[in-house]
Amino acid sequence: MRNFIVLICLLMGLILGCSSTEGQGSGGIEPGSSSPDIIEGFMCGGVYNDLPVGIDNDFFVDDIVYIWLSWVNVTGSHEIKILWIDPNEKIIEVLRTFESKTGKLANYFWLDTTSAAPVGKWVAEVYLDGDFVRSYAFWLNSRN
């Protein structure tokens, strides 16, 4: 009888212990259907037929680094700003205006690096109509 009680206590401890290790998650969020958003964005080594090629986040100095973006809900005229931020926090700004009649758009920007470009982690920050949207990190490496 004593062994039976010990066995029951062990089983209860095991059952109660397991119930506290469950994974949890939210029900999810649904972004506003009319808000502009990037549905795909890549750092890449090139663009061919308006599509990204050589998708990566490691590049070498003297490479041209591209950021390719696919947008939805961007009907009308908008302004995209890319801030290329080097490891020393120096900023190179590129600003372009575009217009979309369908609300969908794919576009790309590039940074033509030189042998004098700082090696290390760079960031490309994306702004739409002055509002921050997303950032992408990439690394420039020396060829030596």
End-to-end C-alpha distance for the chain, whole angstroms: 76
pLDDT value at position 115? Answer: 87
* Residues forming beta bridges with residue 17, ordered by sequence position: none
Averaged pLDDT for residues 81-89: 98
Residue whose C-alpha is closest to residue 40's, from 122, 123, 126, 110: 126
pTM value is 0.76
Residue whose C-alpha is closest to residue 113's, from 80, 139, 82, 134: 139
Structural domains present in the chain: 37-141 (2.60.40.1930)
Supply the Cα-derived Rg of the chain in whole angstroms. 25
Averaged pLDDT for residues 64-84: 97
Residue whose C-alpha is closest to residue 66's, from 105, 27, 26, 113: 113
Instruction: Answer yes or no: is pLDDT of 13 > 60.
Output: no
Using DSSP's 3-state secondary structure scheme, residue 66 falls into: strand
Exposure on the CB side of residue 18, measured as CA atoms within 13 A: 5
Tell me: the pLDDT tens digits for 87-124? 999 999 999 999 999 999 999 999 999 888 999 999 99
Contact between 75 and 36 under an 8 Å Cβ cutoff? The reply is: no
